[in-house]
């Protein structure tokens, strides 16, 4: 195509240059040059067939990419080099009205329909036969060499071992030992010095504890001293262990296990702004929010096989391949053969392990209480790896139930409570419990039985 | 030397204790310590409990697939008459919007916002974040396109039920009535609206026995 453009440019140049060139020369050459250019242009035009740039525009304007990819099967076949496989007249018929072509009994068309499991292509009668030629020219372009692609795909970072604490402790230990040694050396030197001077040091027959302690304590009875220091150790250590026990043992806040697929909530819920309910479909209907089944992934990942900014050069990202493996899905096949029968469930690791003896229901909190997911799960749309955000301790539940006001007036779920509350207030009975500390009406979850033991433990 | 030995014992003891205590703080892959785990993990089968792997069911799962032919919970007693084929899509033209089905609470809009807008955009401009990032768009431009104005409601319903091209089936999440409400909202977005005076005995809401 560019060749034609340059030839025409040359032609234009020669024509316009007649003023500067000798006129007689032009007069002799002009017809010759023109005929030569015309002949070359015609022969080239017959060779290239259509404008690939125009073809690209047509391809994009008609969103052919929604079902086709140039180099791999999506819904329809891979299209690169289609002009070499089919003749242009057949392609024109197929693209403009494939259904008419199928009905006419064309063998190739019907074979194609069968191969793709009866999935019908839309008709594109808005594309003129001349545009089909351009389109095919675009589709016949050779594959461009991959850009970038130097990075190796899917090399995971070595796991960071969290041993800073141990290093710190070891260092502290070493320094303490050094301190003690130096102290010992100092004492020995002092002792030697005293012996040399013929004196006797007062502290020489004290033990190490007596030496560490101030004189008043050190002169106490040894047994009392031992008991006293033992009691201190027991009280401090016990207190520490007790507080540790109630804040850490059995509390999994911060638990962020590595999942079988490196699914990023930051990408999906944050950047792509997909509503949580798109995947966690049970959250308004049932006790659990539900872990999405793989078919939900496939609503998008049938078409999206790698990140847009993926430069590793792979066709299918290894993480998305795991979904395909779980479903036994083979994108390179077509029709009913795409799904095999050897699917294997993805074993996600459960993060929020509420004990069996406590009952929790998502629908009650999300549908009735109209809570945001983030209230309990934290800024999930910013988490690359999900971690348990709340403690899920009983005190945490109770505190929220005591303090959260409920919208009794505008929520049919609280109809009975609303009637009772308005009746009580009219009759001036137990009025005070319906008011918050600021004097405004506030009906809390606790007033609706949110603190009853049997609501959660049964 | 006695003194040295003692202090080393104390120091290593303290270090070991701190290491042990820090190991039971939950962080990363470590869920931390538990007390009485037999009261935490359910002995009965629960769909998502991970106490012990189930030894009877395939893949160690507690859930099992329903028996073939089971009518799923939430089917609302309606069966969809057409198959997921080109003929079924053609036949779906005959479906009408169920008579008397109204949507005063705006449920269609609500569901559209969750399940459709990530791709098709808040007002049907095909400009949702996922389409912006390269998932293939449909061949029509937006919901205000003549294609959506003219397409029979039954075919939108069919598409929601089975999916079409790159779009997957949304029957798993939209119950039949919800599906019709979404169809209604889509038609409202297109500006064409919906013909509510449909014959009462349409196949769209045929009750099963």
Write down the pLDDT at residue A204: 54
Which residues 6+ apart lie within 8 Å of A305 measured at CB?
A: A315, A316, A317, A320, A331
Number of domains in chain B: 2
Write down the pLDDT at residue A264: 92
* Chain A residues touching B10 at Cβ < 8 A: none
| B135 shares contact with chain A (CB less than 8 Å) | yes
State pTM to two decimals: 0.69
Give the one of B48, B49, B136 whose C-beta lies nearest to A65's C-beta.
B136
Write down the pLDDT at residue B198: 45
Burial tier of A434 (Cβ tally within 10 Å: 0-12, 13-18, 19+): middle
Q: How many CB atoms lie within 10 A of CB A330?
A: 14
On whether both B90 and B24 belong to a single domain, the answer is no
The residue with greater pLDDT, B150 or B200, is B150
On whether both B92 and B186 belong to a single domain, the answer is yes
Write down the pLDDT at residue B201: 46
Two tokens, residue A114 = 């069968």
Give the one of A184, A302, A350 whose C-beta lies nearest to B166's C-beta.
A302
Q: Is residue B65 part of a domain?
A: no
pLDDT per residue, tens digit, chain A (458 aa), is 444 555 444 444 444 444 444 444 444 555 555 555 554 544 444 445 678 888 887 887 777 777 777 777 777 777 887 877 788 888 887 888 777 777 787 877 777 777 776 667 777 777 888 888 888 888 887 777 655 444 444 444 445 556 778 889 999 999 999 999 999 898 888 888 888 877 655 555 666 666 676 777 767 777 888 888 899 999 999 998 888 777 778 888 888 999 999 999 999 999 888 999 999 998 998 898 989 988 899 888 888 888 877 777 778 888 999 999 999 998 888 777 788 888 888 888 888 888 888 899 999 999 988 899 999 999 999 999 999 999 888 999 999 999 888 888 788 888 888 888 888 888 877 777 777 777 777 888 888 888 999 989 97
* Chain A residues touching B42 at Cβ < 8 A: 356
* Chain B residues touching A249 at Cβ < 8 A: 24, 32-35
- For residue A441, the cross-strand partners are A435
Q: Is residue B111 part of a domain?
A: yes
The pLDDT tens digits for B82-127 are 888 888 888 888 888 888 788 888 899 999 999 999 889 888 888 8
* Chain A residues touching B104 at Cβ < 8 A: none
Cα separation, A90 vs A104, whole angstroms: 12
How large is the average pLDDT for residues B71-82? Answer: 71
Of chain B, the percentage scoring pLDDT greater than 90 comes to 6
* Chain B residues touching A255 at Cβ < 8 A: 26-28, 30-32
On whether both B24 and B125 belong to a single domain, the answer is no
Q: Is residue B79 part of a domain?
A: no
- B188 membership: H or E segment, kind and range: helix B176-190
Q: CB of A299 within 8 A of CB of B172? A: no
What is the length of chain A? Answer: 458
What is the C-alpha radius of gyration for chain B, rounded to an integer number of angstroms? 28
Write down the pLDDT at residue B7: 66
Chain centroid to Cα B110, Å, comes to 14
Cα separation, A204 vs A192, whole angstroms: 11
Q: Give the DSSP per-residue string, A135-154.
A: HHHHHTSPPPPPSS--SPTT
Residue B197, min C-alpha distance to chain A (Å): 30
| A230 shares contact with chain B (CB less than 8 Å) | no
Q: CB of B102 within 8 A of CB of A267? A: no
Q: Is B135 within 8 Å of A166 when comparing Cβ atoms?
A: no
Write down the pLDDT at residue A161: 57
Cα separation, A91 vs A82, whole angstroms: 9
**Where residue B129 sits, what CATH number does that domain have?**
1.10.760.10
Write down the pLDDT at residue A117: 65
Q: CB of A283 within 8 A of CB of A290? A: yes
Q: CB of A457 within 8 A of CB of A359? A: yes
Question: Per CATH, is A52-139 categorized as 3.40.1710.10?
Answer: no
Chain centroid to Cα A145, Å, comes to 30
Q: Is B118 within 8 Å of A272 when comparing Cβ atoms?
A: yes
How large is the average pLDDT for residues B176-186? Answer: 89
Q: Is residue B40 part of a domain?
A: no
Which phi and psi (to 5°) does residue B164 adopt?
Answer: -155, 135
Q: Is A355 within 8 Å of B39 when comparing Cβ atoms?
A: yes
pLDDT above 70 (res B47): yes
Which residues 6+ apart lie within 8 Å of A193 measured at CB?
A: none
Cα separation, A417 vs A420, whole angstroms: 5
Q: Is A250 within 8 Å of B32 when comparing Cβ atoms?
A: yes
Residue with tokens 């070595």: A158
Q: CB of B58 within 8 A of CB of A277? A: no
| Domain around B100 | 86-205
Q: Give the DSSP per-residue string, A209-228.
A: HHHHS-HHHHTS-HHHHHHH
Provide the CB-side half-sphere exposure for B62 (13 A, CA). 12
Sign of CA dihedral A38, A43, A46, A48: negative
| A210 shares contact with chain B (CB less than 8 Å) | no
Residue A346, min C-alpha distance to chain B (Å): 10
Cα torsion through B8, B14, B17, B22, rounded to 10:
-120
- CA-to-CA dists, residue A222 to A202, A217, A229, angstroms: 18, 10, 11
| A440 shares contact with chain B (CB less than 8 Å) | no
- CA-to-CA dists, residue B180 to A244, B72, B157, angstroms: 55, 18, 7
- CA-to-CA dists, residue B57 to A325, B64, B65, angstroms: 20, 7, 10
């Amino acid at each position: 195509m560019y060749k034609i453009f340059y030839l025409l440019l040359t032609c234009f140049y020669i024509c316009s240059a007649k003023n500067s060139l000798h006129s007689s020369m032009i007069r002799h050459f002009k017809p010759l040059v023109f005929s030569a250019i015309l002949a070359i242009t015609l022969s080239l035009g017959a060779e290239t067939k259509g404008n690939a740039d125009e073809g690209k525009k047509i391809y994009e304007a008609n969103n052919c990419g929604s079902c086709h990819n140039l180099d791999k099967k999506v819904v329809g076949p891979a299209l690169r080099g289609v002009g070499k496989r089919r003749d242009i007249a057949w392609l024109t018929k197929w693209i403009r009205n494939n259904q008419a072509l199928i009905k006419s009994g064309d063998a190739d068309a019907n074979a194609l329909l069968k191969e793709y499991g009866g999935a019908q292509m839309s008709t594109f009668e808005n594309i003129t036969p001349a545009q089909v030629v351009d389109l095919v020219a675009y589709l016949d372009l050779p594959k461009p060499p991959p850009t970038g692609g130097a990075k190796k795909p899917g090399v995971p970072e070595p796991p960071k071992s969290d041993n800073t604490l141990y290093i710190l402790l070891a260092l502290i230990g070493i320094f303490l030992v050094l301190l003690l040694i130096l102290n010992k050396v100092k004492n020995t030197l002092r002792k030697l010095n005293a012996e040399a001077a013929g004196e006797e040091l007062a502290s020489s027959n004290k033990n190490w504890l007596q030496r560490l302690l101030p004189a008043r304590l050190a002169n106490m009875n040894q047994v009392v001293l031992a008991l006293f220091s033992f009691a201190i150790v027991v009280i401090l250590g016990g207190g520490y262990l007790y507080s540790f026990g109630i804040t850490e043992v059995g509390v999994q806040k911060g638990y962020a296990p590595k999942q079988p697929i490196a699914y990023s909530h930051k990408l999906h819920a944050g950047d792509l702004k997909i509503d949580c309910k798109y995947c966690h479909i049970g959250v308004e209907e049932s006790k659990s929010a539900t872990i999405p089944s793989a078919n939900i992934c496939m609503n998008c990942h049938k078409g999206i096989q790698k990140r847009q900014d993926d430069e590793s050069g792979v066709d299918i990202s290894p993480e998305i391949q795991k979904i395909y493996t779980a479903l036994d899905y083979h994108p390179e096949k077509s029709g009913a053969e795409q799904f095999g029968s050897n699917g294997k469930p993805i074993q996600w690791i459960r993060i929020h392990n509420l004990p069996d003896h406590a009952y929790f229901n998502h629908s009650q909190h999300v549908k009735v209480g109209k809570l945001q997911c983030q209230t309990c799960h934290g800024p999930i749309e910013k988490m690359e790896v999900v971690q348990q955000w709340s403690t899920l301790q009983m005190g945490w539940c109770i505190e929220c139930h005591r303090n959260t006001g409920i919208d009794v007036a505008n929520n049919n779920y609280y109809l009975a409570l609303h009637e009772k509350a308005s009746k009580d207030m009219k009759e001036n009975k137990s009025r005070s419990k319906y008011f918050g500390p600021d004097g405004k009406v506030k009906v809390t979850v606790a007033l609706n039985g949110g603190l009853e033991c049997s609501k959660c433990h049964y | 030397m006695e003194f040295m030995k003692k202090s080393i014992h104390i120091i290593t003891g303290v270090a070991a204790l701190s290491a042990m205590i820090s190991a039971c703080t939950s962080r990363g892959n470590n869920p931390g310590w538990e007390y009485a785990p037999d009261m935490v993990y359910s002995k009965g089968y629960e769909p998502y409990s991970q106490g012990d792997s189930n030894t009877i069911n395939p893949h160690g799962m507690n859930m099992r697939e329903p028996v073939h032919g089971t009518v799923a919970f939430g089917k609302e007693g309606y069966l969809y008459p057409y198959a997921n084929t080109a003929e079924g899509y053609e036949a779906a033209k005959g479906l009408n919007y169920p008579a008397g089905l109204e949507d005063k609470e705006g449920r269609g809009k609500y569901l559209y916002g969750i399940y459709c807008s990530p791709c098709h955009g808040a007002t049907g401009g095909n400009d949702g974040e996922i389409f912006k990032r390269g998932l293939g768009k449909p061949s029509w431009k937006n919901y205000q396109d003549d294609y959506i104005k003219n397409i029979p409601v039954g075919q939108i319903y069919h598409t929601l039920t089975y999916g079409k091209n790159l779009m997957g089936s949304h029957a798993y999440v939209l119950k039949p009535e919800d599906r019709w409400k979404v169809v209604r909202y889509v038609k409202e977005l297109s500006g064409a609206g919906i013909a509510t005076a449909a014959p009462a005995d349409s196949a769209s809401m045929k009750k099963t026995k």
